[in-house]
Amino acid sequence: MKRGKGISAGFWSRYNKKEHPEGKKDIAAKHDFIIRADKRYLRENAENMLDVGYGYGSLFSPLGKRYELSGLEIDKNNVSKARASYPNVRVFKGDMRTFSINDKYDIITSICAIDHGTKLRRDLGKTIKNMGRHLKPHGIIIFDMPLAQETCPKDSIYTYSGKIVGEKGTKYTFIYHKQLEDNGKLAYSYSLAIKSKGRSSEYEIGKVYRMEELLSIPDVRSIASRNGFKCFVYDGWRAKAPAKGKLTNEPVFVLAR
C-alpha cells in the first residue's frame, strides 16, 4: 500500500472548515452535546471551559459566545494560529498529562485527542487526574474515544464526495481494516482511497493499532472511578441519552464527581 504524505491532513484541514456542510454538522453536534451536558450535569450554570487538544480550534467560535473559553495544545503552530485568530480565547501550550494552569473550570473537554497514541492511552489515568486538579468541585470532563475497543475493531468503509472540500468529481473513501497479524494478534488500521478522473490511489493514513493497546469502556470506567469520578457513556456526539446495549458509534464520556 502506498503511503501518502499529508493526504489525510490536507483532506481534514479543508473538511473541518465551517463553510463545508459536513464540517458544520460535525461542529454543531459537538457544540450541542456540550450544551446538553451543561444543562444535565451543571444545570446550565457553567461559566468557563477549557478545551484540551483543540487542534484547529473549530469549536472556539460557537462555544466562545457562551463560555469564558481557554484552550490547551501541545503543537506550537496550532498555539500560534489560535492566538492570532481567536484573541478572546486564552491559549496555553502544554501536555494534557502535565499542564498546570492557575485557574479552575466548570467544563474541560478533549475532542478526538485523548487517545491519540499508545502513550496517551497508557497515561489516561494521569490525564484525568491532572484535569481533575483544574476542575471546580462540581465540574465535568467530556471526551470521546475514536479508538475504543468496542467500536473500532470492525471492517467498515465510508465514502465522501469531493464536493465537501471543493473538488467535484473526486471521491474519498476511508477504509477501516480489522486484520490478523503473523503473530496471531488482532490489529486495526485505516487507509484513504482517492478516485478522481479515472485514476485511483490508496494511501495508508493510520498506523496499525494492536487491539491489546486500545482501551475499553470498562477500562475508562475503572480509571475514572480511581480518580473520584462517576463515568457516563454516550453513543456518539449526537446521542441525547446515555447509550444502552451495544455501541454503534464512538463512545463519548462525561465524568462527574
* Phi and psi, residue 68, nearest 5°: -75, 110
Residues 219 and 99 in one domain: yes
Residues 206 and 79 in one domain: no
Q: Report the C-alpha gap between 200 and 198 in whole angstroms.
A: 7
Domain presence at residue 2: no
- Model confidence pLDDT, tens digit, residues 81-119: 999 999 999 999 999 999 999 999 999 999 989 988 889
Spans of the chain below 50 pLDDT: 1-8
Residues 164 and 234 in one domain: no
221-232 in b/e form (b: 16+ CB < 10 A) is bebbeebebebb
Find out whether 203 and 59 touch, Cβ atoms under 8 Å: no
Domain presence at residue 226: yes
Residues 48 and 166 in one domain: no
- Domain span at residue 189 reads 156-211
- Strand, helix or coil at 73? strand
Residues 106 and 192 in one domain: no
Residues 163 and 114 in one domain: no
Q: What is the CATH number of the domain that holds 11?
A: 3.40.50.150
Number of domain units in the chain? 2
Residues 207 and 81 in one domain: no
Residues 49 and 105 in one domain: yes
Residue 2: the pLDDT is 44
Residues 104 and 169 in one domain: no
Domain presence at residue 136: yes
Domain presence at residue 1: no
Residues 188 and 232 in one domain: no
Residues 117 and 37 in one domain: yes
Torsion of CA 54, 58, 64, 65, to 10 degrees: -160
